[in-house]
Amino acid sequence: MRFDRRLITHFEWLLPLLAFAVSGLGAMTVYSATHVPGAHGLSPLALRQLLWLAGGSVAMLAALIFDYRRLERSAFVVYVLVLLAVLAVPVLGRIGGGSRRWIPLGPVSIQPSEFMKLGLVLVLARHFARSYERGLGLGAAVVPMLLTAVPAAAILAQPDLGTVAVLGIVSLTMLMLGGIRLRWFVLLRVAVAVTAQVAWPHL
């Protein structure tokens, strides 16, 4: 993997600096709240906070030097893998807080529905990149809506209404950017409103 030196000159330094400032404030807050007078070293919570901060920094640097355009070739693979993980939650997931959303993997647990947000963006971006055209009709929204509806239904059954709402916003945004005529969004809005009235008592 080659490093593009232009990333340094065109890098938006303010964004990560603000992120580090907020993260540092959070770490200090955890340390202050968990510190025991007379004790040596950091508390387990403060240490875990710093470890996650370090891990997040490494992940940010890795994402920075990675050419995101390579994801286009594997967009559907990522989507299918994440979808399979979402569908596996009812079988492999654990119950917490009245819902089953997490899959335990050794000492950690993952929430597949969170990865579906990224998977949906990737697959819709590839779909519209291949078929982009201004003024697309309602028929062009069928495939994107199906790609959204399948994971949304599985996530709603967990139940996780918040993530489903985010997926809906992501889908509508991608439809708009993908070239769907704005007038069709009125029809989609009516359909969503009717569906919400029917589904709300069951949520």
Q: What pLDDT was estimated at residue 80?
A: 93
The least confident of 5-19, 114-128, 182-196 is: 182-196
Structure tokens belonging to residue 2: 């080659």
Tens digit of each residue's pLDDT (9 = 90 or more) over 26-77:
988 988 888 877 777 778 888 888 888 899 889 888 877 777 777 888 888 9
Tens digit of each residue's pLDDT (9 = 90 or more) over 66-109:
777 778 888 889 999 999 988 888 877 777 666 777 787 777 77
**Confidence class of residue 18 from pLDDT cuts 50, 70 and 90?**
very high
Rounded average pLDDT over 109-120: 87
Q: How far is CA 138 from CA 34, 108, 131, 161, 165, in A?
A: 55, 43, 14, 26, 21
